[in-house]
Amino acid sequence: MKKMKLVMVGNGMAGVRTIEELLKMAPDLYDIAVFGAEPHPNYNRILLSPVLAGEQTLDEIILNPVAWYEEHGIRLHLGKKVVDVKRRQRVVVAEDGTEEEYDRLLIATGSNPFIPPLPGRDLKGVIAFRDIADTHTMIEAAKTHKHAVVVGGGLLGLEAANGLAARGMDVTLVHIAPWLMDRQLDGVAGDLLRKSLEERGMKFRVETQTEALLGGPDGRVAAVRFKDGSEIPADLVVIAAGIRPNTELAEKIGLHCVRGIVVNDTMQTITDPRIYSVGECASHRGIAYGLVAPLFEQGKICATHLAEFGIGRYLGSSTSTKLKVTGIDLFSAGNFMGGPDCEEIIMSDPYGGVYKKLVIQDDKLVGACLYGDTVDGSFYFKLLREGRTVHDIRDKLMFGESHLGDAGHQGQSKAAAMADSDEVCGCNGVNKGVICKAIKDKGLFTLEEVRKVTKASASCGSCTGLVEQLLMFTAGGDYSATPKKKAICGCTDASHKEVREVIREEHLLTIDAVYRRLAWRTPNGCASCRPAVNYYLISTWPKEAKDDPQSHFINERSHANIQKNGTYSVVPRMWGGTTNSSELRRIADVVDKYQIPTVKVTGGQRIDLLGVKKEDLPAVWQDLGMPSGHAYGKTLRTVKTCVGSEWCRFGTQDSTQLGIDLERALWRMYAPHKVKLAVSGCPRNCAESGIKDVGVIGVDSGWEVYVGGNGGIKTDVAQFFVKLKTAEEVLEYSGAFIQLYREEGWYLERTVHYLARVGIDHVKARVLDDAANRKALWERLQYALDGEPDPWFEFEKAGVDVRQFAPVGVL
């Protein structure tokens, strides 16, 4: 079969990434040709700044060497600018007459520097900062000339000025606005930035307008004159006044352009269905993006359509900014300037060089501007995107996500200060050197890519800030642009929220019905979405939706915890952490009979039998004669208690009994994630109620209830919820809270994260303020749990496939 022809105009990062994605999906679909106006193969344009500053070399920033194009059979036309496309004949024509026919055309011409109409702009020594040639010119000029003037105090201008200063030039940066990076920073942060750059020897003229560039007798620029009449000497002028989408070719061939080539959600131009466009030249829903992460997202979407998979839509991205000047940390996102309807929380330490401003509007974080300490940038960015209310965390907001209890990376907040051997991700044991090497060797740009390849930041995420800093310094990637809506997994575009809603509103009862209704891309989902959808069905429609055993992780299918060697652990239930001689005797007998190698007391006040062979599980359960402890599931785990008023001389309440009552009321309960409770009999809190999903503390006059605590990866202290008089009330209020979480939580979302998402005020309104709703929630929970089987004894009712315990055959 004859291959279709794909021609790409533009040989930059977004375009080549699209080709890479396409080759992964459909390696043999197209005969591909690429035109590049520059004489270089695809390189990392973002890293021109470090090259200029002498921190990296040109060779190091090449992303796809010429050999890569050859290897994939791509005809590469370097140094050939495309001047025309004959759309009727479907032929691309380059300046030198080279022609290529196409079936599909991809325009990725990027952007051009904007050069304001200044007198003298054509003089020798006046350049933009856009490509390798510009960078080369600057490096050469720095060797032979002294005075450099950079016009424009934005990201690029500052990076150019920094690089030229590092190469020994006397640099003055001229900026028209009152402070630097006025599109990304407020005045205070802008001034802090200026101060620290001045300490490096750079000079600044802010609120200054350039009037003309003056030439010398040799035709080279010699000076810059400002509106106020003053002049400064200049042997090199770098104009960094912004960029414009390069739509010259597109406009010439009649494609609709409005500040970029207008494309739809599949990156197809709206004018010609055979022509696609990605990158800085494309205008999607009115926005031409200039950051790598959204452009790569576009590339991926575009590739699926070029590959004729016809899946995926680009829905736009939110973006944030960082500066690539070594030693300077700044971050901004959203509306960082604030305004009349906004409130601001500000932390300013000019001596320490730290400034943080958070802008809040209608109880939501709408903007952030950080200088000097940016490790919480991703946390603020997440809050900003999710648009959740921050009312309840206002007092802690300024201190970020990691101010307490964060474990796994030695409390580091500056990645640059870490040694290569220092551990960044404590969950997966990934050190700085490994991450940097992966970023360099595999050409990673986004946080997601680093997570996939190195696993760093892929588990608990507490090191995300550090990984982002490493990306910044190693790849220059603007990692933090993310899709506006997060899909459950790659099988669908639907979010957790959408799946929950459609199941409730349309009374869906089977996984297949959900997959059909939401047009899942895979026949039976994957290990991420299937357990989630199954949980949503059974929690929304108890007694109606049928639980699907094959949509549970192995632990919930075998009702025991799989261990690293394929054996299992068994934890029988001990109500409120209490047991007796008969149970202990049976446990001892089971350990002997089945030669169980390890017996351990757990943190949840019960006994763990480790190393049980799978075929022994049913007999072990039978011989124990104790209920399942559900230590293996997204279920109620334990209710930890102290001895309370029955024995303890300090006890004010019977915490043990309340713990037992709670556990008896809630056991066998599936939830979005595991649920742990504790009851303490006095404020000494020996049961550690402060770090439980629901923690109860007895006081002389009743009980205090706390919610959303977590003693895991990141220690989160539970928030005070309500003070109650009687044990019956504690049951009702706790049950109602848990039921709300069961109905609204997203799969694998602990109560702390659920609360962080919806806000405790939302929960209080539904459980505390609305008595009827509270009672209804509590009743729904009791209804759902009524008659639920114990999976260790009622195999059929619990849907336990007993075939799993025996091999299908023995050889």
Partner 1 sequence: MSDWKIICKVEDIPVLGARRLARKGSTDVAIFRNGQDKVFALLDRCPHRGGPLSQGIVFGDSVACPLHNWTINLGDGCAKAPDVGCTQRFSVKVEAGQVSLDVEELTTLGLGETVVPAVVAVGAETAAAERPAV
Binding site for partner 1 (CB under 8 A): 425, 427-430, 442, 451-456, 458-460, 522-528, 530-531, 549-551, 553-555, 557-558, 561-566, 569, 571, 602-606, 608, 631-632, 637-638, 673-674, 676, 712-713, 748, 801, 803-804, 807-811
Q: Which is nearer to partner 1, 259 or 452 (CB)?
A: 452
CB of 753 to partner 1, least distance (A): 12
Strands 203-205 and 170-174: parallel
CB atoms within 10 A of CB 798: 17
CB of 189 to partner 1, least distance (A): 36
Q: Rounded to an integer, what distance in angstroms lies between the CA atom of residue 335 and that of residue 339?
A: 9
Collapsed DSSP state (helix, strand, coil) of residue 801:
coil
Q: What is the 3-state secondary structure (H, E, C) of 723-747?
A: EECCHHHHHHHHHHHHHHHHHHCCC
CB atoms within 10 A of CB 230: 11
Q: Which is nearer to partner 1, 171 or 639 (CB)?
A: 639
CB of 311 to partner 1, least distance (A): 15
Q: Which is nearer to partner 1, 1 or 811 (CB)?
A: 811
Q: Rounded to an integer, what distance in angstroms lies between the CA atom of residue 687 and that of residue 697?
A: 9
Q: Which is nearer to partner 1, 123 or 458 (CB)?
A: 458
CB of 637 to partner 1, least distance (A): 6
Q: What is the 3-state secondary structure (H, E, C) of 97-109?
A: CCEEECCEEEECC
Q: Which is nearer to partner 1, 233 or 712 (CB)?
A: 712
CB of 186 to partner 1, least distance (A): 37
Q: Which is nearer to partner 1, 147 or 559 (CB)?
A: 559
Cβ neighbors of 582 (< 8 A, separation 6 or more) are none
CB of 39 to partner 1, least distance (A): 33
CB of 522 to partner 1, least distance (A): 6
* CA 571 to chain CA mean position, Å: 35
Query: Contact 639/656 with Cβ under 8 angstroms?
Result: no
Query: Contact 158/181 with Cβ under 8 angstroms?
Result: yes
Four-residue CA torsion sign, 137, 143, 146, 148: positive
Q: Which is nearer to partner 1, 500 or 606 (CB)?
A: 606
CB of 791 to partner 1, least distance (A): 16
Q: Rounded to an integer, what distance in angstroms lies between the CA atom of residue 644 and that of residue 700?
A: 12
Strands 694-699 and 702-707: antiparallel
Q: Would you state the structure tokens that stand for residue 754, as one six-digit string? A: 């659920």
Q: What are phi and psi of 559, to 5 degrees?
A: 55, 40
CB of 747 to partner 1, least distance (A): 9
Q: Rounded to an integer, what distance in angstroms lies between the CA atom of residue 254 and that of residue 273?
A: 13
Q: Which is nearer to partner 1, 67 or 527 (CB)?
A: 527
Query: Contact 159/324 with Cβ under 8 angstroms?
Result: yes
Q: Which is nearer to partner 1, 610 or 776 (CB)?
A: 610
Query: Contact 205/220 with Cβ under 8 angstroms?
Result: no
Q: Rounded to an integer, what distance in angstroms lies between the CA atom of residue 331 and that of residue 570?
A: 49
Q: Would you state the structure tokens that stand for residue 678, as one six-digit string? A: 């504790």
Q: Which is nearer to partner 1, 7 or 427 (CB)?
A: 427
CB of 594 to partner 1, least distance (A): 18
Cβ neighbors of 302 (< 8 A, separation 6 or more) are 18, 21, 106, 266, 267, 276, 278
Q: Rounded to an integer, what distance in angstroms lies between the CA atom of residue 683 and that of residue 700?
A: 10
Q: Which is nearer to partner 1, 324 or 676 (CB)?
A: 676
Amino acid occupying residue 809: G
Q: Would you state the structure tokens that stand for residue 109, as one six-digit string? A: 């011409």
In this structure, what DSSP letter does residue 646 have? G
CB of 611 to partner 1, least distance (A): 13
Q: Which is nearer to partner 1, 239 or 666 (CB)?
A: 666
Strands 607-612 and 598-601: antiparallel
CB of 488 to partner 1, least distance (A): 12
In this structure, what DSSP letter does residue 718 have? P
Amino acid occupying residue 149: V
Amino acid occupying residue 283: S
Q: Which is nearer to partner 1, 2 or 803 (CB)?
A: 803
Q: Which is nearer to partner 1, 203 or 546 (CB)?
A: 546
CB of 808 to partner 1, least distance (A): 4
Strands 607-612 and 568-570: antiparallel
CB of 500 to partner 1, least distance (A): 19
**CA distances (Å), origin 118, targets 244, 295, 472:** 17, 32, 34
CB of 335 to partner 1, least distance (A): 33
Q: What are phi and psi of 213, to 5 degrees?
A: -105, 125
Q: Which is nearer to partner 1, 3 or 24 (CB)?
A: 24
